[in-house]
Structure 1
Amino acid sequence: MSLRFVSAVLLAAAAPASAQTTPAPTVAIYADNLADTVRTLASDQFQGRAPGTVGEERTIGYLIGRLQAMGLEPAGPDGGWTQAVPLLHTRLGTPATLAFDRKGAATPLALGTDIYLSSLQPKDRATVENAPLVFVGYGVSASERGWDDFKGQDLKGKVAVFLVNDPDFAAAKGEPVAGTFGGRTMTYYGRWTYKYEEASRRGAIAALIVHDTDGAGYGWNVVKSPGGENYDIVRAPDQVTSLALQGWISGEAATKLFADAGQDLARLRVAARRKDFKPVDLGTGFTAAIPVTHEVVQSQNVLAKIPGAKRPDEVVIYGAHWDAYGEGAPDEQGRIYRAGANDDALGVAGLFEIARAFKAAPPSDRTVAFAFWTAEERGLLGSEAYAQNPVFPAEKTVANLGLDILQTAGRAKDVVLVGQGQGSLEDDLARHAAAQGRTVTPESLPERGLFYRADHFSLAKRGVPVLLMMGIAGASDLVQGGKEAGQKWVDDYTGKCYHQACDAWDATWNLDGAVQDIDLFYRIGNDLARSAQWPGWKDGSEFKAIRDKSAASRK
């Protein structure tokens, strides 16, 4: 591969004069450097980079060595390079009992076929004894949208049954609900994580989400693929979820459950799209007795910084996750390591290039930090652990810019925006993309909620403005082949290699497009680091009110 780069000479011209305090330097992002990093991290030496393994030990050592060589400073909470992230790892065994019970008649359930379950409690056995099932629609409690699906329903000791996504997803044109939750663009209330959290906040003993492929964005095969395994950060006893079990019920099993209870699931789906929806007691109990193995796995985030020269307490954070899926069954080529060459070794490589560019330039006014998160693939856990115990306070964190999967099919005429309408950083994206001669294209399937499925979301929940670069969010308009070629790349990657062993280094990758995207994020962060501007959230964002509460600290 020849040495290729994209120059950022237009930075100063692109930024508003009122925001610019330090002339922006000329930098270059090199494809060869990206390739070298990905080849290394995706090699068998790192064993798929699973948390708590030898692969992690080697990965952490490699990351720290690279950062030291570039002259960055450690930014861990104790002055070191790492932040400890203890993880609870659980796995369900074979159920002794698993059934619905209505008026004394038990309907046995097949784990993995009718229902998928996992546990996030550190107990040897998950037990639910004939707990009443209550259908709560989409399970949304959103006062800012004038919406409450619970209507005072007591869920303590009960099983909450949810629909996936949010009320707008299936709304027909002209329905009153349409637009309340962003149209087809999923809000946070549509995420399965929100539903489990809400059930726990209300004291439920279990929570089940009715699966449908369109609403979830993936089939039942994806739902059951973890095989009863789950991870969480280690929590204090009073913070452990109330849910003994959480999971999904297949569409077929759910239809039968409702029919046996004298209810029409199809009709209730429509009713749940109205504000006057009220929870429905299904008159059915849920019983489960399942052995659970559990352990604490020690893992780590890696944190580094380049201190700001004028306002070092104001911080721009770049992030990418270092972890992948570790060892699995051999694929057709005999590969056993699911090494995440693109997801997210390429993002890590991008952070190294951005760090190198900042180090080659005069010091910026603000601190620039680099976070290499653990356990993203286990539920954004490394970034969540950081967000709960941040090194840099959220109110003084200017922005978090995340790289998670970049397209490897060559230069593009556009850049795909994830989370349109959330924050002012998307305006910065458009401005700097224009300086590259590119346009901005909104993600093609906003109903899948990609905005809520990467590490930047952990900081967004604390009000930090965020921006995500994710190559699978839509088809890029490639210079060679246009949208059709861009869609083919997305389909090939997501259909064959996403989370699989074939997400491996490939010498045929064309990294020119990744160079464009990394350079674009460098431009945005460099602008922020050399200015006094504070990006924010747009009206209607779920996170605006959180950020507004700390506005006085940024004056």
Structure 2
Amino acid sequence: MRPPRLPVLSGLIVTMGLIGNAAHAAPAASQDAHQDALYAPIDPARMSETIRVLASDPFEGRAPGTIGAGRTVNYLIARFKAIGLEPAGENGSWVQEVPMVHTKIGPDASVLFRTGKKEPLDYRQTREVYLTTNTPSARIHIDDAPVVFVGYGVHAPERDWDDFKGIDLKGKIAVILVNDPDFRAAPGDAVSGRFGGRAMTYFGRWTYKYEEAVRRGAVGALIVHDTEAASYPWSTVIAPGGEAYDIAHSGAPESLLVRGWIEGSAARKLFARAGLDFDRLSAQARRPDFTPVTLPDTSFSADFAVATNTLQSRNVIGKIPGKVHPDESIVYGAHWDAFGRSRSRDGKTVIRRGAVDDGSGIAAILEIARAFRAGPQPDRTLLFAAWTAEERGLLGSTWYVEHPLMSLPKTVANFTVDVLQMAGLSRNAFLVGAGQDSLQDDFVTMAKSQGRTTQEEALPERGAFYRADHLPFARAGVPVLPIMDLAGYPDLVDGGVAAGRKWLDGYMACYHQPCDAWSPDWDLRGAAEDTAVLYEVGRSLAFSRMWPSWKQGSEFKAIRERTESERPAL
């Protein structure tokens, strides 16, 4: 065991472990020993082996509700036990049950857009449209629903923005642009900077747009696909194959009968059929005086079967109890699910293995747990969570936040790992959602101790901060620190930015595809570096009375402040 040391971090006295010391090893140490110190006590080889197992054939791509999912849960429980964690699930178990509804729309589904007496547009599933539903029904039937273009579908009074202008969407189909209203704004435009510029806000996420359509009574919602604004191609949109998952609610909450995407050129064709210029209307949607436009004499009809079943999925949760403040928790989490088995366009069965996304995150969480278990017992409780159904809408982490197993006001921080790079040691690290909370400052300090610089994410338009399992915690007011190595190009020690670009571009071509598979050629030392930083930031909290805080301007600051009275006085 190594005792905690006490340097200064973010202006407060906290603990520091091996990384800060090892990164300044004596000059006589070998280069290999110095590099090893950058990610001690995290083992890259063990991380690689974890990913190899999770991405292997028996796990079948780890889709919730499948045989592979059951094997995944059993594997994770066995690993938690072997590390020496204690169960932290329900009723003294290792799991938290997550009731879900699973639906699947068949590949032969299609919809009809009728415009007056013109030939109807017959748009087919995965070709011109991609449809899903969260409604547990055997059949979806919509007959001649009016179609309304609602711009970016944003209602944000705090930003003096309302795309809806009081329109009644009951029984109608909403067509919505992806991303924020200022995504393509030019300098001087009325909307310029109102939603963070190129950095996506939560208003730009498709999940928010569906939620807003539900609140306004729409029967369906279609988001217009745009590769640049969505940050992923059409092939990524259609990858789930018509499947959808949702939390099984005890009541009968409002939902969209059909939701999904319409391919960009197909949307332009539809608008032109109705006598409208899609690009001109899209430009108008970037103005605060935009008003919704009903497509003249145009309707949407659909009639297709839906396969529906209920299932119990599971979060796997272990802990190291705190010896001084056991009711205060620090949560490390990653998602265990991927997209499972499916059919390719040529009819072959493929497995989308989710090696990097997010086998790498699970490998990191297991290594962090092992490192903590080898050291002194922390003052605060450490939770290690493997969430289900992140790829289906952050369902496992959302369920935990709605049904917390430890107090959320007394949850000190959440650390989420979702995609680590596999190309070796890097000179830089990226902040996802820079400027949100003080944990990011701690991350900068720890990365600097490794000799690395930190940068804001290079592609904030991807909205990475709103796309992973830390988000439900943030929305509950818990300070968060996500690590996502798709936030920018790594400056690799071996090959520089050019090599980092090659890795990330290659990975993004495999994002949610069968080629996201384990490789023996990977170099996980860079992934271990990032994992070690999270370990050290967590140590600084586990042995202190520090409470991270949201920064001024964060939309989550007020939420946390409302619960401060539930925390013990320092």
- TM-score over 0.5 for the pair: yes
Gaps of 5+ in 2: 20-39
> Residues 404 and 470 of structure 1 are in contact (CA less than 8 Å); yes or no, is this contact kept in structure 2?
yes
The alpha carbon displacement at 1:23 in A equals 6.6
What is the identity, as a one-letter code, of the residue corresponding to 2:86?
E
Q: Which residue of 1 aligns with 2:97?
A: 84
Query: What's the CA shift string for 1:365-388, capped at 9, x where partnerless?
Result: 211101101112222221122122
The alpha carbon displacement at 1:106 in A equals 5.6
Question: Alpha carbons of 1:534 and 1:294: their partners in 2 closer, same or farther (altered >3 Å)?
Answer: same
> Residues 2 and 375 of structure 2 are in contact (CA less than 8 Å); yes or no, is this contact kept in structure 1?
no
Which stretch shows the higher mean deviation, 354-363 or 89-98? 89-98
The alpha carbon displacement at 1:86 in A equals 2.2
Counterpart Cα distance in 2 of 1:263 and 1:339: 43
> Residues 128 and 263 of structure 2 are in contact (CA less than 8 Å); yes or no, is this contact kept in structure 1?
yes
Which stretch shows the higher mean deviation, 53-62 or 322-331? 322-331
Q: TM-score, normalised by structure 1?
A: 0.93
Gaps of 5+ in 1: 1-6
Which of 63, 73, 95 is the matching residue for 1:60? 73
Q: Per the alignment, in what secondary structure is the counterpart of residue 189 of structure 1? A: helix
> Residues 89 and 229 of structure 1 are in contact (CA less than 8 Å); yes or no, is this contact kept in structure 2?
yes
Question: Alpha carbons of 1:422 and 1:411: their partners in 2 closer, same or farther (altered >3 Å)?
Answer: same
Q: Which residue of 1 aligns with 2:415?
A: 401
Q: Which residue of 2 aligns with 1:540?
A: 553
What is the identity, as a one-letter code, of the residue corresponding to 2:203?
Y
> Residues 24 and 530 of structure 1 are in contact (CA less than 8 Å); yes or no, is this contact kept in structure 2?
no
> Residues 98 and 314 of structure 2 are in contact (CA less than 8 Å); yes or no, is this contact kept in structure 1?
yes
2:271 matches 1:258: yes
**1:409-488 paired onto structure 2 within 5 Å:** 409-488=423-502
Query: What's the CA shift string for 1:228-278, capped at 9, x where partnerless?
Result: 22111212333241x110111222222233233333222221221122222
2:169 matches 1:155: yes
> Residues 25 and 361 of structure 1 are in contact (CA less than 8 Å); yes or no, is this contact kept in structure 2?
no
Counterpart Cα distance in 1 of 2:300 and 2:66: 37
> Residues 12 and 24 of structure 1 are in contact (CA less than 8 Å); yes or no, is this contact kept in structure 2?
no
What is the identity, as a one-letter code, of the residue corresponding to 2:285?
A
The alpha carbon displacement at 1:441 in A equals 1.6
Question: Alpha carbons of 1:492 and 1:70: their partners in 2 closer, same or farther (altered >3 Å)?
Answer: same
Q: Which residue of 2 aligns with 1:73?
A: 86
Question: Alpha carbons of 1:37 and 1:221: their partners in 2 closer, same or farther (altered >3 Å)?
Answer: closer
Q: Which residue of 2 aligns with 1:392?
A: 406
Q: Which residue of 2 aligns with 1:312?
A: 326
**1:285-364 paired onto structure 2 within 5 Å:** 285-328=299-342, 336-364=350-378
Q: Which residue of 2 aligns with 1:3?
A: none
Which stretch shows the higher mean deviation, 223-232 or 290-299? 223-232
Q: Which residue of 1 aligns with 2:26?
A: none
What is the identity, as a one-letter code, of the residue corresponding to 2:218?
A
> Residues 423 and 538 of structure 1 are in contact (CA less than 8 Å); yes or no, is this contact kept in structure 2?
yes
The alpha carbon displacement at 1:293 in A equals 1.1
Counterpart Cα distance in 1 of 2:343 and 2:305: 25
What is the identity, as a one-letter code, of the residue corresponding to 2:208?
Y
Counterpart Cα distance in 2 of 1:480 and 1:93: 47
* Alignment length (residue pairs): 545
> Residues 118 and 229 of structure 1 are in contact (CA less than 8 Å); yes or no, is this contact kept in structure 2?
yes
What is the identity, as a one-letter code, of the residue corresponding to 1:73?
E
Cα RMSD (Å): 2.4
2:114 matches 1:101: yes
Which of 496, 504, 519 is the matching residue for 2:517? 504
Counterpart Cα distance in 2 of 1:58 and 1:348: 15
Q: Per the alignment, in what secondary structure is the counterpart of residue 153 of structure 2? A: coil
> Residues 109 and 115 of structure 1 are in contact (CA less than 8 Å); yes or no, is this contact kept in structure 2?
no
> Residues 239 and 512 of structure 2 are in contact (CA less than 8 Å); yes or no, is this contact kept in structure 1?
no
Query: What's the CA shift string for 1:404-423, capped at 9, x where partnerless?
Result: 11111111111112112222
Q: Which residue of 2 aligns with 1:524?
A: 537
Q: Which residue of 2 aligns with 1:140?
A: 154
Which stretch shows the higher mean deviation, 243-252 or 338-347? 338-347
Which stretch shows the higher mean deviation, 365-374 or 280-289? 280-289
> Residues 121 and 240 of structure 1 are in contact (CA less than 8 Å); yes or no, is this contact kept in structure 2?
no
The alpha carbon displacement at 1:168 in A equals 1.3
Q: Which residue of 1 aligns with 2:137?
A: 123
Question: Alpha carbons of 1:319 and 1:272: their partners in 2 closer, same or farther (altered >3 Å)?
Answer: same
Q: Per the alignment, in what secondary structure is the counterpart of residue 421 of structure 2? A: coil
> Residues 110 and 123 of structure 2 are in contact (CA less than 8 Å); yes or no, is this contact kept in structure 1?
no
Question: Alpha carbons of 1:97 and 1:182: their partners in 2 closer, same or farther (altered >3 Å)?
Answer: closer
Question: Alpha carbons of 1:194 and 1:75: their partners in 2 closer, same or farther (altered >3 Å)?
Answer: same
What is the identity, as a one-letter code, of the residue corresponding to 2:324?
K
Q: Which residue of 1 aligns with 2:184?
A: 170
Which stretch shows the higher mean deviation, 63-72 or 478-487? 63-72
The alpha carbon displacement at 1:25 in A equals 6.6
Counterpart Cα distance in 2 of 1:352 and 1:94: 38
Aligned-residue identity in percent: 52
Question: Alpha carbons of 1:159 and 1:500: their partners in 2 closer, same or farther (altered >3 Å)?
Answer: closer
Q: Per the alignment, in what secondary structure is the counterpart of residue 141 of structure 2? A: strand
Counterpart Cα distance in 2 of 1:68 and 1:474: 36
The alpha carbon displacement at 1:541 in A equals 2.4
> Residues 16 and 539 of structure 2 are in contact (CA less than 8 Å); yes or no, is this contact kept in structure 1?
no
Q: Which residue of 2 aligns with 1:273?
A: 286
Q: Which residue of 2 aligns with 1:4?
A: none
Which of 25, 31, 51 is the matching residue for 1:38? 51
> Residues 49 and 339 of structure 1 are in contact (CA less than 8 Å); yes or no, is this contact kept in structure 2?
yes
Which stretch shows the higher mean deviation, 442-451 or 258-267? 258-267
Counterpart Cα distance in 2 of 1:130 and 1:533: 58
The alpha carbon displacement at 1:94 in A equals 6.3
What is the identity, as a one-letter code, of the residue corresponding to 1:519?
A
Which stretch shows the higher mean deviation, 27-36 or 364-373? 27-36
What is the identity, as a one-letter code, of the residue corresponding to 2:229?
G
Q: Per the alignment, in what secondary structure is the counterpart of residue 12 of structure 2? A: coil
Q: Per the alignment, in what secondary structure is the counterpart of residue 275 of structure 2? A: coil
**1:212-223 paired onto structure 2 within 5 Å:** 212-223=226-237
Which stretch shows the higher mean deviation, 72-81 or 102-111? 102-111
Q: Which residue of 2 aligns with 1:187?
A: 201
